[in-house]
A and B are shown apart, each in its own frame.
Chain A
Amino acid sequence: MAEPLLNGMVQTPCDREEPVLRPGNTNCGGCGMSIGLNFLSRAIAQRPVQMVIPACCGIVTAGMYPYSNYGAPVIASTFASSAAVATGLAAVAQINGDETRVICWAGDGGTYDIGMATLSAAAERNEDILYVCYDNEIYGNTGGQRSSATPEGAYTSTTPGGKEDRKKDIIGIMAAHRVPYVATVSLAHPEDCLRKMRFALDQRGFRFLHILSPCPTGWKSEPAEGIELIRLAIQSGLYAVYEIFDGERFQINVESERSFQALERYFALQGRFRKSQVDLNSIQAGVEQTWKLLQLRAGMESIHE
């Protein structure tokens, strides 16, 4: 069979006949999660999958019973339970020799907060699950409250003066479990996104993908500017795009110039930072520190775009 055209970015006969995210869903315009689902669809191609989606925008995406906006089997789990329900599915798939890939598709609330214990335990047991966290840095489904993934300075309905605490380092936490594969994914780099999704789908054991997912509704940003925001997050160094194998081998996938101009623009384009008292110089200092550590871990080896 021919290779997918343009590195998989164009629909070809190799791709999934039915998209994972069906047309006609009611997701907000510019929703990063929707873009992520479309990439996931291409990445899955002909692989049999079962998805577990906890409470989050991703399950509202499914629409009203008995219809489903998903072109794949989906179980809507309780908020904290996606990794545990997926464990049960993966266990039965294993004892029956099914080829099914079990995928958790969860937001930051269900990953960083309420689902953390479940996620950590499933990672520790190295369950055969691909866990994807689409991180819009907010409880979007409930109207925009702070989560531990919300960045410092961001206004939410429960942090009216801007969040004072720093965003939790979920990648560090997952890497500390020494699972086979952990990666951050850039929606602004389709080839990066598809490669990682395909690689993760074909691995065994626990795989964790993190997608920074623009949320125009929560970020108070222009729907059309979501991908630009991801580019700025990467250029400013705020979002590092890298992967970790077995919790040991770090690889930076997209080099960042850590541009202050990009940082300023990233904050300026989002209404959630408008009232922010946060000092961009101190943010940049934190970014530099994070990158220094990351480069040390990566052995200064980085692959340029």
Chain B
Amino acid sequence: MSAQSHGNGAYHMPIELISANHAAAKAATLAGRANRNARGFGGGVYPITPQTECIELLCRQEFDKGKIVRVESEHSAMAVCIGVSLSGARAFTASASNGLAYMAENVVAASYYRLPILMMAVNRTLGPPWNIWVDHGDTLMLRDTGWMQIYCENNQEVLDSVLLGYRLAEDPRVLLPVMICQDAFVLSHTMMLTDIPEQEQVDAFLPELDLPHRVAHQAVTLGGLDFPHETEVHRIQHHKATKNVPEVYRECQDAFEKAFGRRPPDRVVPYRMDDAEVVLVSMGTTTSTARKVVDAAREKGLAVGSLGVRMLRPFPEDLLRTWLQGKEKIGVLDRDLSPGVGGILWSELRGVVGGDRTVQNYVLGMGGGDVLPEHLQKVLDDLLARNCAGEPELMEVA
């Protein structure tokens, strides 16, 4: 069935002014319908600000072969996704902040069952005290659960990453769940012109899901008991699967470009890096702001560049090493804090860069503090004046 016949009679416009929440819901719908000739689509959904609009829109969609279950908690939302995915259908849910914390046990389970579930996560401050604005601490809390994590910069990226995410997650060389992360309100509720593909294009891009360990009639116990050696083997297999991600991701980018005529960004997004001596590294929408500051610095003749870490898991160590080779001053911008340590991206990156180079951490924009070009200008001035790195700078921008 074509996409046009599903709506309320209006024809499907290729470009719409929509929020990132709606971009994710529309992409999930397209991906769900693309599996209609296989086992279909499903998921458990539960509201939490600022993600709710996504699942509201999803609950208004019709599926030839799909079922969205309105559950009583995030913990059950992911449990339903686990059941759906184990049954061979494509699974989707969305959450944020404390919802992700409550869901955590089944987030781990989804990954250890090796299920290609896709979750749209809106990055929101963990409480208490309660704060609905952006902070990356929630999904970073789930950093080591064995999921892939992609952080987006704009609404188009959110839509495209959901589509690309399914193809990546469902590849037999990968079979890992994926979190598509986007900044609360900066993206979730902000409308942007977004190119929405036709169902036929998505059908051509997304192969039907064929889960090798789908539960049918075979008398096996999935997720039973392991002795230490079996767990070692399972973890090693899991780790090896993450090592396939760079290659499969590249293939997905190629296929995406062929199907939709635009190329999703690399796992690490370089900007004016070739001759840069000073680099700002960041995630999410902060990266867009960093580019503005890079442009301003370049006009003053300063050799500054930016790296956006789009994929945090698996950690793009290969690309970061390549791009940061020979760069003497690196400023790492974190919208998160591991109390007593500093920024999480910074602590990861220190292990990659090493040596005597200046890798300075700036924690800013926690709790939704609006990160403006002037703040990043201050960061850059500080970085340029440094001869060596010091303690992480915890900045107040709000």
A residues contacting B by CB (< 8 A) are 18, 48, 50, 52, 59-60, 62-66, 68, 70-78, 80-81, 84-96, 117-118, 120-121, 125
Contacts and interface: CB of A to CB of B under 8 A. Distances in A.
Given A87-B79, A95-B89, 5 more contacts: A76-B225, A88-B81, A91-B83, A94-B67, A96-B65
A59 B223 CA distance: 10
B116 to A, nearest CB: 14
Contacts of A66: 220, 230
B219 A68 contact: yes
Contacts of A62: 221, 224-225
Given A63-B225, A70-B219, A118-B75, A89 B69 contact: no
Given A71-B219, A73-B219, A73-B220, A84 B87 contact: no
B91 to A, nearest CB: 8
B84 A77 contact: no
Contacts of B39: 92, 96
B221 A96 contact: no
Interface of B: 39-40, 42, 44, 63, 65-67, 69-73, 75-76, 79-89, 91, 105-106, 109, 215-227, 230
**10 closest A-B pairs by CB:** A88-B83, A84-B79, A92-B87, A121-B72, A81-B79, A84-B76, A76-B223, A88-B84, A68-B221, A62-B221
Given A81-B106, A118-B72, A121-B72, A88 B80 contact: yes
B83 A86 contact: yes
A117 B74 CA distance: 12
B229 to A, nearest CB: 10
B21 to A, nearest CB: 23
Nearest to B219: A71
A253 to B, nearest CB: 32
A73 B84 CA distance: 15
B69 A88 contact: yes
B225 A64 contact: yes
A92 to B, nearest CB: 4
Contacts of A75: 83, 86, 215, 221-223
B89 A118 contact: no
B65 A91 contact: no
Contacts of A85: 79-80, 82-83, 86
Given A96-B39, A118-B72, A118-B76, A76 B81 contact: no
Given A62-B225, A64-B227, A74-B222, A121 B76 contact: yes
Contacts of A84: 44, 71, 75-76, 79-80, 83
Given A50-B215, A59-B224, A95 B76 contact: no
Nearest to A88: B83
14 contacts: A48-B217, A59-B225, A60-B225, A68-B220, A71-B219, A74-B224, A81-B75, A84-B83, A85-B83, A87-B69, A94-B67, A95-B89, A118-B76, A125-B69
